[in-house]
């Protein structure tokens, strides 16, 4: 951009593509603008101009400021920013500018641990809907390491965290021990933002004291409902909401399913009882639903629905990382959207060896009633549904 172009932008004033800053002393404000432009449609940050469009110049040495700006573009955001720098010495002093193009990487850019977008003349955090769409545009969702701003490190249940470490075979009593905060940071349960330690989404869901107490996490639960009939228009016979940490949600949902009753099955000489479905198949489907759901879809829950002739498990989001329904059915290589959550559930004994979930469910259903589990994906409205057919086995 030439100086005449900069003068024209200054004359037009701040808008969704232009921001003025008097200096670079407050790097946070400049970083927010750079991050927001990179995540949205690109833009121009001009230093040495006041909010009322007056050129005031930057007092700092021009060469040193160029070096600082170059360094900031490399390390001030979550990934390097491919921006162009310019400068011009006006009668009032040096004016510096940063041309930020729209950028697309594996995930939205962050500054100070948060995602920023441009809305009018302001750099703001996106709403849940905007954030969901932003992750869709980038095509890669990794939300489990995002900080929950309303939470603090004190909201982590350390007893639960240490119990998890012991399940991993890590000694938690022998001395010397690393500082607890270091352990939590290394396990991605917390992150440092602006000098504060904040729990990540993974930290809250795996080790939080009250995981559903924050606006972003309120719907991260399993909704269980049994209906009279073949669809949701039928009468609701029994419902519950499985909340708490992920392991607690799974236990509550399985116990609720068990409470629906058992079938009497008669063999050669004796009667035996069995649940409506083999619990190993249900548990595996539930675990996969919470492990692989799209946590950027903040308004939806995992749903466990029981109808007269089938059981459905519905998880928000499409299959992760370009997986297909056919690939899952074939027992293909596991590709987790939420790697830390999946490893946590594996270590906690809820998930089978990775990529064995679907073969396990198939074998359980064949032995149970000679049916196959079914899977559908709706990429447009973004959900994955697994269906188990009910009915007596022909060889029970």
Concatenating the DSSP letter of every residue in 90-159 gives ETTEEEEEEEE-----SS--EETTEE-EEETTEEEPPPHHHHHHHHHHHT----TTSB-TT--GGGB-HH
CB 375 within 8 A of CB 359: no
Confidence of residue 305 (pLDDT cuts 50, 70, 90): very high
Q: What is the pLDDT of residues 35-67, one digit of tens each?
A: 999 999 999 999 999 999 999 999 999 999 999
Mean pLDDT, the chain, rounded, equals 87
Calculate mean pLDDT across residues 353-379.
87
The more confidently predicted of residues 297 and 360 is 360
Structure tokens at 19: 């921001």
Rg for the chain, CA atoms, rounded: 27
For the stretch 158-176, pLDDT in tens is: 999 999 999 988 887 777 7
Q: What letter does residue 58 receive in the DSSP assignment?
A: B
Q: b/e string for 265-276 if b means 16 or more Cβ within 10 A?
A: eeeeeeeeebeb
Q: How confident is the model at residue 240, as a pLDDT?
A: 97
- Residue 76: CB atoms within 10 Å: 19
Contacts of 359 (CB under 8 A, 6+ apart): 331
For a pLDDT cut of 90, what percent of the chain falls above it? 59
- pLDDT category of residue 140 using cuts at 50, 70 and 90: very low
Q: Is the dihedral of CA 356, 358, 361, 363 positive or negative?
A: negative
Q: Are 225 and 238 in contact (CB under 8 A)?
A: yes
Q: Would the pLDDT of 142 be above 50?
A: no
Q: Dig out the tokens for 231 from the structure.
A: 């669809």
d(CA 178, CA 183) in angstroms, rounded, equals: 7
Paired strand residues for 115: 110
Q: How far apart are CA 393 and CA 396, in angstroms?
A: 5
How large is the average pLDDT for residues 189-194?
86
Per domain, the residue ranges of the chain are: 3-124, 153-207, 222-389
Q: Report residue 394's pLDDT band, with 50, 70 and 90 as the boundaries.
A: very low
Closest CA relative to residue 45, chosen from 121, 110, 128, 109:
121
pLDDT value, residue 24: 93
pLDDT at 241 over 70: yes
CATH class assigned to 222-389:
alpha beta
Task: Record the pTM.
Answer: 0.63
Instruction: Please state which of the four CATH numbers 3.30.420.40, 3.30.565.10, 3.30.950.30, 3.40.640.10 is assigned to the domain occupying 3-124.
Output: 3.30.950.30
**Largest separation between any pair of C-alpha atoms in the chain:** 102
Q: List, in sequence order, every beta strand (DSSP E) within 200-327.
A: 222-227, 236-242, 262-266, 271-275, 302-306, 310-316
**How many other CB atoms sit within 10 Å of the CB of residue 44?**
24
CA distances from 139 to 79, 142, 320 (A): 17, 10, 10
Considering only 14-18, 79-83, 239-243, 309-313, which range has the smallest mean pLDDT? Answer: 79-83
Return the percentage of the chain with pLDDT > 70, whole number.
88
Bridge partners for 271 per DSSP: 266
Buried b (16+ CB within 10 A) or exposed e, 281-300: bbbbbbbbbbbbbbbbbbeb
- What pLDDT is stored for residue 352 in this prediction? 65
Write out the two tokens for 14.
Answer: 């701040």
Per the model's pLDDT, the better-predicted residue between 177 and 292 turns out to be 292
Dihedral sign from CA coordinates of 347, 350, 353, 354? negative
């Amino acid at each position: 951009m030439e100086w005449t172009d900069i003068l024209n932008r200054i004359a037009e004033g701040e808008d969704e593509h232009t921001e003025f800053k008097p200096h670079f002393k407050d790097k946070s404000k400049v970083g927010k603008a750079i991050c927001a432009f990179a995540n949205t449609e690109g833009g121009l940050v001009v230093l040495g101009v006041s909010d009322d469009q007056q050129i005031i110049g930057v007092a700092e040495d021009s060469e040193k400021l160029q070096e600082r700006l170059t360094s900031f573009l490399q390390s001030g955001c979550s990934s390097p920013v491919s921006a162009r720098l310019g400068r011009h010495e006006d009668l009032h002093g040096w004016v510096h500018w940063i041309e930020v193009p729209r950028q697309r990487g594996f995930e939205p850019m962050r500054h100070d641990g948060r995602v920023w977008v441009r809305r009018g003349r302001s750099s703001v955090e996106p709403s849940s809907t905007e954030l969901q769409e932003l992750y869709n545009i980038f095509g890669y969702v990794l939300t489990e390491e995002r900080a929950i701003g309303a939470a603090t490190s004190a909201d982590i249940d350390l007893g639960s965290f240490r119990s998890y470490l012991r399940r991993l075979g890590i000694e938690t009593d022998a001395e010397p021990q690393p500082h607890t905060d270091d352990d939590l940071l290394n396990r991605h349960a917390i992150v440092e933002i602006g000098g504060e330690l904040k729990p990540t989404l993974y930290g809250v869901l795996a080790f939080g004291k009250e995981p559903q107490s924050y606006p972003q996490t309120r719907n991260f639960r399993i909704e269980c409902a049994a209906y009279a009939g073949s669809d949701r228009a039928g009468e609701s016979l029994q419902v519950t909401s499985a909340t708490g940490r992920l392991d607690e949600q799974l236990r509550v949902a399985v116990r609720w399913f068990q409470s629906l009753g058992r079938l009497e099955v008669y063999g050669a000489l004796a009667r035996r009882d069995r649940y409506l479905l083999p619990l190993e198949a249900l548990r595996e489907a539930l675990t996969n639903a919470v492990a692989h759901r799209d946590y950027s879809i903040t308004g939806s829950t995992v749903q466990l629905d029981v109808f007269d002739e089938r059981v459905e498990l519905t998880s928000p989001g499409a299959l992760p990382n370009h997986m297909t329904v056919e690939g899952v059915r074939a027992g293909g290589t596991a590709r987790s959207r939420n790697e830390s959550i999946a490893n946590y559930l594996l270590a906690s004994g809820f998930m089978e060896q990775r990529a064995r979930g679907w073969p396990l469910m198939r074998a359980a259903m064949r032995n149970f009633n000679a049916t196959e589990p079914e899977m559908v994906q709706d990429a447009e409205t973004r959900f994955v549904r697994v269906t188990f057919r009910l009915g007596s086995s022909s060889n029970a």
